[in-house]
Structure 1
Amino acid sequence: METDKHDEQVHTSDAGLTDSHGNTLHSEIDLGDHHEEATDESLEEVHVDYSHHTKQQLAALIKDLAKDENFKHVDAVLREIKPLYDDMREKERAEALLRFIGAGGVNEDFDYKGDESDMIFDANFKLIRDRRAQYVRQQEERKGDNLKRKEDLLERIRVLADQENSDNQFEQFKELQKEWKTIGPVPGPQAKTLWANYHALVDRFYDNQSIYFELKELDRRRNLEAKAELCLRAEKLAEVAIIKDAIRELNELHHEFKHIGPVPKDDKEAIWQRFKAASDAVYAKRDAYLQNLQQELNVNLDHKAKLSDEVQEFANYQSDRIKEWNQKTKEILDIQKRWETVGGLPRAKAKEVNRKFWSAFKAFFNNKNTFFKKLDEERDRNLQMKNDLVQKALALKESNDWERTSNELKSLQQKWKEVGPVPEKFREKVFAEFKEACDYFFEQRRTQHGKVENEQVENLRAKEQVCQQLEAHTANGTASAEALKELQDQFNAIGFVPKKDITTIRNRYHEAVDKFVEAIQGFSEEDKNKLLLENELSDLKNDPMADRKIFQKEQAIRKKIGKIENDISLWKNNLEFFSRSQNADSVRTEFNEKIREATDHLKQLKDQLKLLKTV
């Protein structure tokens, strides 16, 4: 039976599909490939920021990547983390070189080997590179094998197409078509030519074979049923909740649709339009999803941009107070928690916003670490100095040279006061050791010499005389800051008094100083308060518990400052309220006076705090 000359045979071309007259047709193959390509790019994963990872985390990450078979994902992650890791390694190498040179080495002798993380990172990076190269070679070899198989198959189809009719010739041809479909990709330059030759041979087969028209129509009806089944599956994809899964399955359906043979001519356009409509419904759902996703990412971008701006003030923060560093740390960690609750960002903007946030974040903690490192180093030096003083005191505690040893121990006590604070966990222990050594000697001296009591009585009389001079100046109107300094030095230079008289003479002295300062002519209240504080600090310096008492004094002043600042803020808020009411002039005047007085007091307290820091 002659071949049906009315069947339009389909050929591939650069623009899509053409009929036997060379007219371009709307092709499900062309549209399917286009949508598949757009899908891969549109639905790529949200960008992950690795800039705040440590070296150990990056080394662990590349170790996992070495097991990943998805080389596209592996390459994308490596492009992110390799420059970060190299920067960290180069920074550590530079620091090691500085330490090497600082220890007396020369640049030419420096050999940096890195740490365990470097070895892990380099070994896995090389492993990934080797596995990828092997994978590419295997893919190229496989494509070459596929090319040879398809070329052999084309020759078999050519031979079959040119043979005389036989009973099972059509079945053989369909088997060859199935085999063609199962063969994988071939090298790109040969792919288009292979497809053109394949379709040309298919056309030749149908043109040259004496197959009954009914048999051809039966085959095409079967193809129509197969494509209708694909349409039904494609239509159901619009109900799939996870859009990425729907797109992935739709691409597979396009691949199957592409490889199913021709359908009856009258049904060709209808079946394609049905499949295209089902595809368009899924693509529309994808487009809506991407649009909503982009809106969400832009909202996230606004949130994170504000947090990035907010954290910038921490980048250059400096303080010499531990409590203030701890407070700032609490604040920045709160910002970090808010940052982590925000979702992903648009890929184009993610790197810039992340870098801005984490750069300021890291700068703050670098500054904090530098402060505490310096503080620890200083306190360690102070601990060593105080331990040295303890050893000297222990060496003197058994001495019988009372006068010389007493002077030496007093000198050690003075040096002790001049040494700054030590690490908290050693503070009580080292002080107890020093005090015990000093107390032991002085107790021995008191035991051996009854004159100690007489000396203390004399010291009491001397301190009473200083108090009398202070009281005389106050009564005569000759009080002055210079006289106070001189009498203060005299009082502090006098030794111990009888234990039962300590509180009495101390109270008399402080009361005399208070009245003395109050009687100084030409001094403002601020100057008088400063003078009283200086006197109190001078007294504290001679106290073995000076560190603790000065700290307690500082905390008391800070507490007052905090209360006054809160009061001022409250009064100012009340003023804004009264400014909107009538007949409130007297109230506003009262509140303004309170604010003025509190501001003056606040300034005095802050000046006292500055003075306290000099001790």
Structure 2
Amino acid sequence: MINEEAKEIKEEIEAQAIEVTESATNTPAEEVSILEVAATPEPTETISEVTPEPILVSAVLETIEETETTDSQAIDYSGFQKADFVKTLEKVLAEVKENPSVGIFRKSEDTLKEVRPLFEQIKSAEKAEALAKFKEANEGSEDGFEFKLDAASEQFDTLFKAIKEERSKYFANIEKEKDKNFSQKTVLINRLRTLVEGEDSSDPAHIKSGFNEFKKIQEEWKTAGNVNSPHNNTLWQTFHALVDRFYSNRSIYFELLELDRKRNLQHKIELCSKIERIAETSKTENVTGKMLDEAVATFEEYKHVGPAPKEENELIWQRVKDALDIIYGKRREQLEASKAEAEQVFALKTSIAELIQPFASFNSASITEWNDRTKALLALQDQWNNIKGFMPKEKGKELSDKFWSDIKTFFRNKTEFFRLLEIKREENLKAKNAIIEEVEALLANEDESQEATNTVIRLQKEFREIGHVPEKEKDVIYSKFKNVCDTFFNLKRAKNQTLEKEFEANLVNKIALCEQIEKEASEGAETTRLAEFKAQWSAIGFVPKKEMQNIGKRYINAINKYVSAMAKLSGREREQLSLQNEVEMVRAHGESPKDLIRKENDIRRKMQTIENDIAVYRNNLEFFAKSKNADKLRQDVEAKIQKAAKDLSDLKHQIKIIREAER
């Protein structure tokens, strides 16, 4: 009888060992990659075979979290600003506080390693820029330079430190918990050893109480957490060797074991059904991280359930294996689909990056060309940003770095162009201030001679010939120059009151001349008569200053009306003749009327529009040259280019007439 009982004990222990070994050898391919099942070597106790060491749930969950982290696509931080990095760290800090885990902290470490260098680059660039400005303001010296971090940089460093502290605190707690669990499991082993060595199989009451104590120790062992890996294997070997001895010493073992097997079978069926429901859901839905965690946790619990009857155990294991194969098969399909989508996104962004590359070497002396290129680059950048989805991690990062590097190079070159342009404008501002000082010197000397008047007129011409000044100074410097010139001529007029009466008479004569021109314009117009009107106007002389603009406008309008009535002239000839009349007015009075300046600006705006249109037409021609059956479209575009070129030539001629007046 005793030999038969010992034989059944050995068979039961072998069944337990076979069950866990099958879990290791029959695990689906995907599952084996994340669940490490290791066979336990022979224990130091006197038992020949023991149950292998079970899988640690925490190790599985950590591995799953690593898989989730690996599966997640990388974020492109290259285009982030400082505020964006601060928001990213705030999100990471909130995440590690809300849901601390090994996977979350590893993910946070990856994020910190990626964003910290980029943020430091921005800080270094700001410091270099500040140092350059400091040296520029201090004749190239760095003495006394101090770079203070802004609020965003300080907030970034604070968040970075807080995340590190949370990580240290989390893993310190894990180590403390492992040490506590080691002590607890050591106490449980000692309790079990005392129970086994003090076993009295002859006393039914002792057998019952001993079994209850044994089950209690088992439950406490099961709920005890992980310990440090150097001790884990030894503890499991010792514990299961003592369990084996406990069952070997009891004659009631067989009845209890059979009951446990039936209960274990029922428990395994429930866990299997749960995994099968997840597998069924995966057929119609994507396998999420939550579903995968639930399946792994259920499988982990399944493996911790004790042995069941052998035949039923094999069948239920096959069901579990089939369900897990479905789940991980669907997971692999999702990953492959994600890779294909990433390759497609990479191909689209590669084509845009190739279009961006020439911008890095662009250079021009034209503000218009820089602005046009900027608009084109920003449009390509919008196309890049509008392509949603992730790229393959390594080559996607390389492509993204090259893309943003080319954009940054373009804007650095543009900044340098406008910096040099601003230097030239500052020089123009100094030159114009010097002219104003000359006029102010004439005012201070109260010199209203004709020579002084000619000097002021000459300075007015020089002032107009000087190029642009900084935009914020444009109106100020013009008003200042106009005021000093007006003051000079007003003082001159104040000392020549006798001329005012003559000016009034001239005004009457000019009004009469305008009326005559307007009248003859409605009766018929001749070129010879137009020259006579101009000669009469020039011979009349000056009018009161307050009436100069009004009578000048009336005269120009009358002449333009007269020119419009000259039927023998073409539209272009009439337009050129009208503009010539205005130019002659400028030469006669030595001034630059606002209307004429405004006309010049309008002409230049039209020229810019026509130049842009010509550029677009030529781009279209390049496109049509690559297309078949596009001859008709190409001819239409070439006709448009010729017409635009002719219009541009006319406008340039008008600008030339205005410039001659300014000389």
Q: Deviations over 1:178-217 (max 9, x none)?
A: 2112222211222222223333233222222222523211
Partner of 1:255: 300
Contact 1:382 1:421 in 2 (8 A): yes
Task: Note if 1:352 corresponds to 2:424.
Answer: no
- Helix, strand or coil at the partner of 1:52: coil
The equivalent residue for 2:112 is 78
- 1:228-265 C-alpha deviation (Å, 9 max, x unpaired): 11101101112053522211111111221122112122
- Give the equivalent residue in structure 2 for 1:491: none
Match of 1:139 in 2: 174
Alignment match, 2:605: 555
CA shift, 1:307, in A, is: 1.8
Say whether 1:313 aligns with 2:358.
yes
Q: Residues of 2 paired with 1:104 and 1:593: CA distance?
A: 56
Output the TM-score relative to the length of structure 1. Answer: 0.73
Alignment counterpart, residue 211 of structure 1, candidates 249, 252, 256: 252
**What's 1:484 paired with?**
none
Counterpart position of 2:121 = 87
Given that 1:29 and 1:254 are in contact with CA atoms closer than 8 Å, whether structure 2 keeps it comes out as no
In the alignment, which residue of structure 2 is the partner of 1:129? 164
Letter in 2 for 1:555: R
Q: Does the residue aligned with 2:13 lie in a helix, a strand or coil?
A: coil
The structural deviation recorded for 1:218 is 1.0
- What residue in structure 2 maps to residue 274 of structure 1? 319
| Aligned-residue offset at 1:272 | 1.4
1:364 aligns to 2:410 (yes or no): yes
8 Å contact from structure 1 (residues 63, 120) kept in 2: no
Please tell me the residue identity of whatever aligns with 1:267: E
* CA distance in structure 1 between the partners assigned to 2:59 and 2:115 by the alignment: 33
Q: Which one-letter code corresponds to 1:134 in the other structure? A: K
Is 1:414 aligned with 2:479? Answer: no
Distance change >3 Å, CA 164–CA 374, structure 1 → 2: farther
Q: What does the per-residue CA deviation read over 1:458-514, in whole Å, with 9 as the maximum and x for residues that have no partner?
A: xxxxxxxxxxxxxxxxxxxxxxxxxxxxxxxxxxxx9x877779968x999xx9xxx
User: How far off is 1:225 after superposition?
Assistant: 0.8
Shift of 1:76: 0.9
Cα separation, 2, equivalents of 1:107 and 1:134: 43
Taking structure 1 as reference, are residues 51 and 373 closer, same or farther at Cα in structure 2, changes over 3 Å only? same
Structure 2 SS opposite 1:167: helix
Q: Are 2:167 and 1:119 aligned? A: no
Cα pair 1:220 1:264 within 8 Å, conserved = yes
Partners of 1:326 and 1:188 lie apart in 2 by 65
Aligned 8 A contact 1:47 1:350 in 2: no
The question of whether the paired residues in 1 share the 8 Å contact of 2:624 and 2:630 is answered with no
1:566 Cα deviation from its structure 2 partner: 6.6
Percent same amino acid among aligned pairs? Answer: 30
- Cα displacement (A) at 1:446: 4.1
**Equivalent position SS for 2:189:** helix
Amino acid at match of 1:219: D
Equivalent position of 1:466 in the other structure: none
Partner of 2:32: none
Q: Structure 1: state its 5+ residue gaps.
A: 458-493, 512-528
Q: Which segment drifts farther, 141-150 or 119-128?
A: 119-128
**Which residues of structure 2 form unaligned runs of 5+?**
22-35, 98-103, 202-206, 507-538, 564-575
1:117–1:29 distance in 2 versus 1, CA, 3 Å: closer
Report the residue type matching 2:238 in the other structure.
N
Structure 2 counterpart of 1:41, one-letter code: T
The code of the aligned residue for 1:313 comes to P
Higher mean displacement: 114-123 or 301-310: 114-123
Equivalent of 2:13 in 8, 12, 34: 8
Judged with a 3 Å threshold, the aligned counterparts in structure 2 of structure 1 residues 95 and 434 are, in CA distance, closer, same or farther, namely closer
Maintained 8 Å contact 1:557/1:605: no
SS in 2 for 1:445: helix
Q: Match of 1:488?
A: none
In structure 2, the CA distance between the partners of 1:183 and 1:613, relative to structure 1 (3 Å rule), is farther
CA contact under 8 A between 1:564 and 1:598: conserved in structure 2?
no
Q: Cα gap change, 1:134/1:41 in structure 2, threshold over 3 Å: closer, same or farther?
A: same
Task: Pick which of 212-221 and 417-426 moved more.
Answer: 417-426
Deviations 1:62-107 (CA, angstroms, capped at 9, x unpaired): 3554453432122111110111122222333333444444414755
Counterpart CA distance in 2 for 1:281 and 1:198 is 36
1:610 CA displacement: 12
For the Cα contact (< 8 Å) 2:350–2:399, is it kept in 1?
yes
Worse-matched range after superposition: 318-327 or 49-58? 318-327
**1:185 and 2:231 aligned:** no
C-alpha distance in 2 between matches for 1:131 and 1:274:
42
* TM-aligned CA distance change 1:507 to 1:397, over 3 Å: farther
Rounded to whole Å, the distance in 2 between the matches of 1:18 and 1:123 is 47
1:164 aligns with one of 187, 195, 200: 200
Shift of 1:346: 1.8
Is contact 1:397–1:441 with CA below 8 Å preserved after alignment?
yes
In 2, Cα distance between equivalents of 1:154 and 1:597: 99
* Equivalent residue runs for 1:38-57 within 5 Å: 40-41=66-67, 44-57=71-84
How many residue pairs match? The answer is 551
* RMSD over equivalenced CA pairs, Å: 5.0
Say whether 1:442 aligns with 2:457: no
Letter in 1 for 2:72: E
Question: Residues of 2 paired with 1:31 and 1:131: CA distance?
Answer: 23
Structure-2 separation of matches of 1:572 and 1:120: 52
Q: CA deviation at 1:349?
A: 2.4
Letter in 2 for 1:182: T
Distance 2:370 2:316 in 1: 72
How far off is 1:374 after superposition?
Answer: 4.7
Counterpart of 1:292? 337
Please say if residues 82 and 119 of structure 2, whose CA atoms lie closer than 8 Å, have aligned partners that are also in contact.
yes
CA contact under 8 A between 2:603 and 2:651: conserved in structure 1? no
The structure-2 alpha-carbon separation of the partners of 1:221 and 1:380, relative to structure 1 and needing over 3 Å to count, comes to farther
Give, in angstroms, the shift of residue 59 of structure 1.
Answer: 3.7
**Contact kept? 1:59, 1:121, Cα under 8 Å:** yes
